[in-house]
Every structure is written in C-alpha cells, then in structure tokens.
Chains A and B, each alone.
Chain A
Amino acid sequence: MTRHPLRTALLTSAGLIVAGFVVIALGQRVVARTLDVSDQMAGIVSGGIGGIALISVGCVFALVQVGRFVEDGARSDTDTVIDIVAQLNALPPAPDPPRKTSRRRAP
C-alpha cells in the first residue's frame, strides 16, 4: 500500500483555504464591532485581502500539485513505452526471411 502523493498537497491546500475563511471571519468581526473607518480599514485589509490571498494560494497550490501529478503520470507512461521499446531493441535480431531465388530467363 502506498501513500497517495497528492495527500499532503491537498491537505496543505485545504488548510490554507480554511485559514483564509477564518481570517475573513475575523476581519468581519473587527469591521462589524466599530463604526470608525480607520479601524475598519485594518480589518478589511488584514482580514479581507489576507483571507482572499490565503484562499488563492491554497487553490493555486492544489492546482499546481494536481498538474504535476498528472504530468508525472504522463511521464511515467512515456517511460514505460520507452522501456518497452528498449526491451524490444535488446532482443536478438530476428532471422532474415528466406530469399526467393530469381530465375533468369534464358536469352
């Protein structure tokens, strides 16, 4: 049994995305508890933009890792084909088929 190579990547991505939503929720709390725009800006910037950035990084990271996994699978298939070809080349050459003797017509 093998550990799926995407497990760690997807767990990391999920963690980043969840952290982004948590940060957005915290920012919303900061913004909602005051009417002072200068305080609200801190919540908007740190919570809103920071949360969106975390979610974006998580999504992009998952996309990149899945792409790498698919690419790795394709490369693996290619390697398999190359190995098969190499094995075929390593076989002893097949005997030449018998030549047909041509008969010359008598002048």
Chain B
Amino acid sequence: MRRATPLVLAGLFTLAGAAPALAAHRPAAEADVTVTVPITAEAWWTSSPVCAGGVPCGTLGATPVNPFGAGTLHVAVTAGTETARSYLTLGTAAPPGAELTDATLTVALDTTTPGDGNEAPDTSHVWVCVTTQPVTPGEGQIGTPPAADCSTHVELNYQPGAIPSLTGDLTPMLAVLSKPKITLALIASQRSATTDAWHVVFSSHTRAAAPTPPASLVETFGPTGSTVAPSPPAPPAPSTRTPALPATSPAPPSVAPPAYVPPAVPLPGDVTATDAPAPAPQVAGSTAAASAAPSAPLADSASTTVGFAYPVVLLLPLVIGTTLYALGRQLVGPMRRRPER
C-alpha cells in the first residue's frame, strides 16, 4: 500500500459524507421570501402613572398600577407631550444569504374596548424608531425607557376600516432592520403640537381574547444584491394629515425619552423621601406573565431556512484533516537525507 493511499481514502470518505449536505443545500433566497417576523418581547412605558386606590402617586406607599386592560400596548400624547410609548423586540427571521428588500409594519388598533384609553386614533402621529438597548417586557412601566434612535424613522399612517390600523412601509429602515436584536420603538411624533391629544391602543401577543390582532412586521427577502440602492436617510413617510408642525422642521437625530421624573417612593426601611426612581408597577397577571417567559417567541416565523451561506465550508474538515495528516506524517517521519532515486 502506498503512503498516499490512506490520505486518498480519507478524502474520498469525507467527500462522500459532505456530498449529501452539498446537494441538499438550497441557494438562499433565489426568489422573494416573505416572512412574518416573530416579536419576542413587548413593553410600554408611561410617564403619567396611576396609583392604586386613587392615592396620588407621590404619596408614601402608593403603588402604580396599569389603568388599562392587561395585554394592551399604548402610544399616547396629551397636550403635545408624550405620555406613553411602546416597544416591540424583533426576533430573527432572515434566511441565510438573503437580503432584506421590504418591510411593512401593521398595527391593528383596538378602538372598541372601553376603558383601554383609546382616544382620537385618526389624529395620531406615531413614529417607528429603533433601539438596540435591552427592553424589559412589561406593561405601564415608569421610569426612563430605552432611548429610541429616530435618525431613521417612519411615520405610521392611519387606515380606517372595520379594524382601523396604523401601517407603515419601513423600507427607509431596511439597513437597521437587517441588524439582529432590534427593537422597534413606537413613539409619538416629535412634531406634535401642544394641542395634540390622542391615544392609540393595540393588542400584545399575550392578550387574552384579543379583539384585534397584535402588531405584525412582514419582511420580504430577496437574493443578495437585489436591493437597488441604499436607503436614503430618514424621509418620513407621507402622512394623510397635515403635520402639527411645519414639515421643514428637522427631525432630531435621537429622541430622548420623555422627561418624566417619577414620584418619590420611599424604599423599604427608609423613612426619608428619596429621589430614587419608583419601581415598575406590578400589574397582576401581566408583568409576571411576561417575565415568566420573556424570551419565548410570541409568533412563529412563517418560514425557516437551514444550511450554510457558503456551503464550501463543508470541505473545511477535509482541509484540516489533510493538513493534520501531512504535519503528523512529517513529524514522525525520519529526518535523514534520502538518496536520489
């Protein structure tokens, strides 16, 4: 048996093992693939907390509560000041090797459930921004919410109907949506006028007996390189209404959280008033349920693609094995001058 025979046999066996994987690999996204992005966490913050028992929230022992229905999410403005904002943490839906070409966000509004705070949704100005900061699932949280980056944003448009909705084409945000661990921040437009007062309500994925479907983000993936041009920086989507402020006013590069200072809540055992932020309100059956399984996807992805973006990597074990074999053979071989044949 020649010395190279084991090497040849090892190579043939490796190729035979890798052949099914190479043959089964489907080139990623030869055609457009539409995927409903799973939303892994939802939360909303408020800057106007309501405390239990009608006690003013600055009072000793006052506990903030969620005054609205469990499982609802809110974006609101009162007298031109943002009072509620929501966050939707996105899961991973991108097929390997595919390029995001289109994204559409649809937020079905709950305008029928009394007591959920719905108010003049047709006059709403909701911006979709992004944040990369971690978002704690919860309802009616107070304190400082994660900062939203609105350097690239889209304004949602109100769509009347049996179930009115806010929709937005997120194409200008494709660059940021392509990144992992992105959270969408639904905030009030920074162009709200002091006379604006609206409150939109929509269902979370955990809402029991939800009258409306939860928010959904549908992304379309095409072959790599199918994007025509890089997205322009943040042209706001055309709105069906006249903006509260002149459209020429520049958008701020980054929107700070609402300047809300929570009421002082004494810590246990502390008899003096402190400036420590109040703890997040504990809403029965909502926050606890959300924290019980914060990372579980709330919606399944419409499609799943497996495989490697570069299937040639399957030959890497062969290369590594061949190299190790050659090195080992030289290391244990004789180190003597061989006479010329």
Contact = CB atoms under 8 A, between A and B. Distances in A.
A68 interface: yes
A12 B326 contact: yes
Given A12-B327, A12-B330, A5 B179 contact: no
Contacts of A57: 327
B338 A5 contact: yes
B149 to A, nearest CB: 14
Nearest to B178: A36
Nearest to B330: A9
B336 A36 contact: no
Chain A: interface size category:
10 to 19
Contacts of B339: 2
A2 B340 contact: yes
A30 to B, nearest CB: 12
Contact of A5 (B327, B335, B340): B335
Chain B: interface size category:
10 to 19
B340 A65 contact: no
Contacts, number: 37
A3 B327 contact: no
Contacts of B1: none
Given A36-B179, A72-B335, A1 B327 contact: no
Contact of B340 (A1, A8, A9, A16): A1
Given A12-B326, A12-B327, A61-B327, A69 B179 contact: no
A44 to B, nearest CB: 17
A3 B338 contact: yes
Interface string A27-55: 00000000010100000000000000000
Interface in A40-93: 57, 61, 64-65, 68-69, 71-72
Contacts of A38: 179-180
B337 interface: yes
A2 B337 contact: yes
A96 to B, nearest CB: 43
A4 interface: yes
Contacts of A2: 337-340
Contacts of B334: 5
B331 interface: yes
